[in-house]
């Protein structure tokens, strides 16, 4: 019981070491939420950590001869991605200068991600199982780029570090055993992390829509994309859906944002 009183106090001390930042401009879609980042964890550190993991993934795929082995899909992916990357300056000034990379792994997973610093990785299962149009592919990649622009990875790591530091402080003061502290960690993780992950997904949906529209891709394709995602695997959805859940609420959010981005799409098409 005393742990529950001490943990918020310990968290408050750790949070005091966090900084409220605006990683991106709001854009036409109005993503204005300030994010709490641990001052000890810089964007450069997170980029370097992820880049190392990305290099390892590429090396393993290269050894298996499944890295960029399907020229037609690689060309489509890179063409779509470059058009999206050309629009990232609308959200943050430094992003056009990131060391962007776009690679394809020939594997059945229906999955994609864009890690910190602009490291895009897509699996060929997306093409094979969903028969994506270029507009739908732009919806996938734009969504993932949005996560990188908003530094959602760094934000999640900041929360995890803050929670661990607070628990270590509170646990040491009370002399708690490891099992008790592990239980407290699980409870706190569910309480603090999951609601924010839903927020992050909504932000990525909105910014991804705007990136696609500004690049001349039809943002309405996001709706057909998520419909296709929900139909893969007998309705269970692919691995991508485990971290990018589709729901009626999500579809409604996309539909509500379309009036803000469709004029951008029409302007891009008219250029």
Decide: pTM greater than 0.85: no
Annotated active-site residue in 101, 136, 144, 167: 144
Cα gap 227→248, rounded to integer Å: 10
Residue 144 appears among annotated catalytic residues: yes
**Long-range Cβ contact pairs of 221-227 (< 8 A, separation 24 or more):** 221/133, 221/135, 221/136, 221/138, 221/139, 222/136, 222/139, 222/143, 222/254, 223/251, 223/254, 223/255, 224/133, 224/136, 225/130, 225/132, 225/136, 225/139, 225/140, 226/250, 226/251, 226/254
Spatial CA neighbour of 209 closest among 164, 129, 146: 146
pLDDT tens, per residue, the chain with 271 residues: 443 443 444 344 445 457 889 999 999 999 999 998 877 778 898 899 889 999 999 999 999 999 999 999 999 999 999 999 999 999 999 999 999 999 999 999 999 999 999 999 999 999 999 999 999 999 999 999 999 999 998 888 877 776 666 555 544 444 444 454 454 444 344 334 443 478 899 999 999 999 999 999 999 999 999 888 888 754 445 555 555 555 667 889 999 999 999 999 999 999 8
């Amino acid at each position: 019981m005393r742990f529950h009183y001490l943990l918020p106090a310990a968290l408050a001390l750790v949070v005091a070491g966090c900084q409220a930042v605006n990683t991106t401009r709001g854009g036409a879609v109005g993503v204005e939420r300030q994010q709490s980042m641990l001052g000890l964890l810089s964007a450069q550190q997170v980029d370097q950590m992820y880049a190392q993991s990305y290099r390892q993934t590429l090396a393993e795929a290269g050894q298996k001869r499944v890295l960029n082995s399907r020229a037609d899909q690689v060309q489509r992916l890179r063409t779509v991605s470059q058009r999206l990357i050309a629009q990232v300056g609308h959200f943050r000034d430094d992003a056009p200068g990131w060391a962007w990379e776009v690679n394809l792994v020939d594997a059945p997973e229906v999955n994609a991600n864009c890690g910190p610093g602009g490291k895009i990785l897509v699996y060929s299962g997306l093409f094979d199982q969903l028969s994506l149009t270029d507009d739908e592919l732009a919806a996938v990649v734009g969504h993932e780029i949005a996560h990188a622009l908003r530094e959602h990875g760094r934000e999640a790591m900041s929360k995890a570090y803050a929670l661990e530091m607070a628990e270590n402080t509170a646990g040491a003061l009370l002399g708690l055993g490891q099992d008790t502290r592990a239980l407290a960690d699980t409870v706190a993780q569910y309480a603090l992390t999951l609601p924010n992950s839903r927020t992050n997904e909504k932000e990525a949906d909105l910014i991804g829509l705007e990136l696609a529209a500004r690049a001349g891709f039809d943002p309405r394709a996001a709706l057909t994309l998520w419909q296709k995602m929900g139909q893969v695997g007998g309705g269970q959805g692919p691995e991508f859906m485990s971290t990018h859940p589709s729901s009626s609420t999500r579809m409604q959010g996309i539909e509500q944002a379309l009036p803000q981005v469709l004029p951008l799409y029409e302007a891009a098409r008219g250029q």
